[in-house]
Chains A and B, each alone.
Chain A
Amino acid sequence: MSEREKILGRIREALKVKAPRPGSHGDPLVQAAAEPPVSHARDWLPSVGASVEEQFAMFARNAADLKAEFQLFAGRDELRAALVSLCAAEKWRRIASHGGELTDFACQAIGLPVTLTDRGYDVQAMEKCDAGITECDALIAQTGGVVVNSRGAGGRALSVLPPHHVVIARREQLVADLPAAFARLQSKYAPDFPSMISFITGPSRTGDIERILVLGAHGPKKLTILCL
């Protein structure tokens, strides 16, 4: 008998004795609701405003709490100007990015040599880049975070290896809360999900030394979210 069969056998044997459902106080007649327990999660998680303006305001507040930069632009000219000044202020010399409508625009605006990840890349070269520029799947008002994936955001390393992660997003990508973000991912990709989906909530951090917050533990020290 394989280990798989042995383990599954032990599980089935163990589950012959029923455990009481939480909240049933041992009453076997208490039945689960037909819908999954988390289907009302939206009513319990932190509240989010109904209008898009309120949601952007909340996203901005949450991002600021997380020490991420967030800017909302009226048009592409403003975005271009912001990228140029960011590049000058941080003295970037080389950036990494991936092919995409927004990232192509950003790389062109910055005008520096680019390590593109789309057809494979040299890890050492990416490590020496000053910033990684990606698109994303969603911005989440409730958390102030973004969602990236390995197919649409230049692979697994681009959003964590360079010291500054810049996300270029569109307004329509804002979702109110976490349940909406998961629903969007599921409807967009299921069953063929990208091999990695990452919810990024602020720049990399650690509190492992005396519980004092330090940014840039392993991943980027800075996270900038620029939204058109």
Chain B
Amino acid sequence: MSSFVSQFKTLAGEKTRDLRHRQVIRTALRSYEVVRDKRKAAFQSWEFARQAAAETKWEAVNHLDTHLEALVAKLEARGTKVHWASTGAQACAIIAQILRDQKAHSIIKSKAMTSEEIHLNHALEQEGFTVVESDLGEFIVQLRHEPPYHIVFPSMHLTRGEIQDLFQKELGDAPSDSPEELTMVARRVMRQKYLTADVGFTGANFAIAETGMISITENEGNARLTAALPKTMITLLGIEKILPRFADLALFLPMLATAGAGQPMTCYNTMYSGPRQPGECDGPEAWHVVLLDNRRTELLADAEQRDALHCIRCGACLNVCPIFRNVGGHTYGTTYSGPVGSVITPHLRGLQDWKHLSNASSLCGACTEACPVKIDLHHHLLQNRRNASVSEPAFFERLAYKLFSIVANEPKFWSLAKKLGWLTQPLQKAVKGSALDPAKAWTKTRDLPPMPKESFKDWWRNRK
């Protein structure tokens, strides 16, 4: 068993037994469902909108090369410096080099899951730079030295009391446990950072090929400030974030807001098409856009699961997933958790190490139904299971199925097996759930159904 599997199993066991954790998550997600359903109902047709969104992303991803070239040409024409990175390490190196060239000391960052994916903060801190997360949730988990719990709500696993204690300890300022006052503490701390930061770092939600723009969606205004005040701006963009046309945003922005947080529109949706232009009074003098592959092209090469690149990272599939709701975000041990994380992580980090995530699913299909761009998530989980067993079949599984086929194909063996099963049943009771029990994963918390003394076949034969 790889260390990733055993870590997942251990944490999943701990978290599902932690009733306080479960309560916090359920309360948070229950209110999400209520507002999301209200917003979905406001659409004249959510289903048609989903279909159009799926077709638009299909067009974008299946012509990715031409769209990327168009985007880059437009960006460069207005003075943006574009960098290409095949791996996370390359992206980190490019960004570190930009910081060194700028003689930068402090970097203010708005929320970017791509930067979590490539462990950018760690890489930059090793080089001696100070990185401050400005999104409130990210700021909180950064103070706790832990990764975001959820791709949209990074600190949803924490209570206000825990955040008050954290602020008291780390910032020496936490007047009460009121979310309002705690938010204001973070606002004050961050304002000072904004006024002194040399470089602003952002992620991206969409990239528009037609007009050469990066679109950033946020509620707090931190990305707006990040792109306004520091004299250098860096944006890390996963290559799959492409949309073909400017007008596509008219559909994607409200859909992202609705699916992600049950809002009609996220508070700030901002399109950037260059650094400060002639005649403008502020904004960065230089803007660097780093395009990140990091094995997205491997997922692209899998035509069956290519639509996983349609993902707009709204988090809707996490919110409705019965597994996520019980095991929690950190248990996955991945940057992207929940159903979409279980689908793409094996492509991004290796199938054999991460195939267990595809088994942590009830295949209920709630994720597929919630997805605003109609990614066939639960079928992709099945395909991952198939691919994993084809590429490296487990010896014991193969042996078990071989034996089963011998027994099931021969009536004599089958009836013998039935008798043996009935006879050895009391033995199973003695070892039930212990290390000696071959079925302990199932029987630890459940009873096997008792085997009848007489099988149906015997009863039929002896019925008169």
A contacts, CB < 8 Å to B: 2-4, 6-8, 10-15, 17-19, 21-23, 32, 36-41, 43-47, 62, 65, 98, 117-121, 123-124, 127, 143-145, 150-151, 154-157, 159-161, 177-179, 181-183, 185-186, 190-191, 193-212, 214, 216-220
Separation in Å of the B240 CB from the closest CB of chain A?
A: 10
Q: Which residues of chain A are within 8 angstroms of B224 by Cβ–Cβ distance?
A: 156-157, 159-160, 198, 218-219
B52 touches A41 (CB 8 A): yes
Q: Which residues of chain A are within 8 angstroms of B53 by Cβ–Cβ distance?
A: 37
Q: Which residues of chain A are within 8 angstroms of B303 by Cβ–Cβ distance?
A: 17-19
B contacts, CB < 8 Å to A: 28, 31-32, 42-46, 48-49, 51-56, 58-59, 62-65, 68-69, 78, 84-86, 90, 134-137, 140, 153-156, 158-160, 163, 179-180, 182-184, 186-187, 190-191, 195, 211, 213, 219-222, 224-225, 227-229, 239, 244-251, 253-254, 261, 263-277, 279-283, 291, 293, 297-298, 300-301, 303-304, 306-307, 374
Separation in Å of the A3 CB from the closest CB of chain B?
A: 4
The listed residue (B183, B213, B222) touching A193 by CB distance below 8 A is: B213
Q: Which residues of chain A are within 8 angstroms of B229 by Cβ–Cβ distance?
A: 123, 157
> A2 vs B94: C-alpha distance in the bound complex, in angstroms?
14
Which of B52, B86, B186 has the most C-beta atoms of chain A within 10 angstroms of its own C-beta?
B52
B282 touches A157 (CB 8 A): yes
A45 touches B43 (CB 8 A): yes
Also in contact, A32 and B247, with CB within 8 A (given A197-B271, A199-B270, A211-B32): no
A209 touches B155 (CB 8 A): yes
Also in contact, A155 and B228, with CB within 8 A (given A203-B267, A204-B267): yes
Also in contact, A206 and B219, with CB within 8 A (given A145-B265, A201-B266, A214-B183): yes
Question: Which residue of the partner chain B has the closest CB to A43?
Answer: B44
The listed residue (A3, A36, A182, A209) touching B85 by CB distance below 8 A is: A3
Q: Which residues of chain A are within 8 angstroms of B213 by Cβ–Cβ distance?
A: 193
B153 touches A21 (CB 8 A): no
Separation in Å of the A90 CB from the closest CB of chain B?
A: 18
Also in contact, A217 and B222, with CB within 8 A (given A11-B68, A17-B301): yes
The listed residue (A23, A43, A206, A208) touching B55 by CB distance below 8 A is: A23
**Count of CB-CB pairs between chains A and B under 8 Å:** 306
Q: Which residues of chain B are within 8 angstroms of A205 by Cβ–Cβ distance?
A: 219-220, 267
> A119 vs B249: C-alpha distance in the bound complex, in angstroms?
32
Also in contact, A47 and B68, with CB within 8 A (given A7-B86, A121-B282, A183-B247): no
The listed residue (A7, A23, A65, A150) touching B283 by CB distance below 8 A is: A150
> A95 vs B82: C-alpha distance in the bound complex, in angstroms?
37
B219 touches A204 (CB 8 A): yes
> A65 vs B263: C-alpha distance in the bound complex, in angstroms?
11
Separation in Å of the B320 CB from the closest CB of chain A?
A: 16
A218 touches B190 (CB 8 A): yes
A38 touches B52 (CB 8 A): yes
Which of B182, B239, B246 has the most C-beta atoms of chain A within 10 angstroms of its own C-beta?
B246
Selected A-B contacts with CB under 8 Å, 15 pairs: A7-B239, A19-B306, A46-B264, A127-B191, A156-B282, A190-B211, A194-B273, A195-B273, A195-B275, A204-B220, A206-B220, A207-B261, A208-B156, A208-B183, A216-B184
B280 touches A150 (CB 8 A): yes
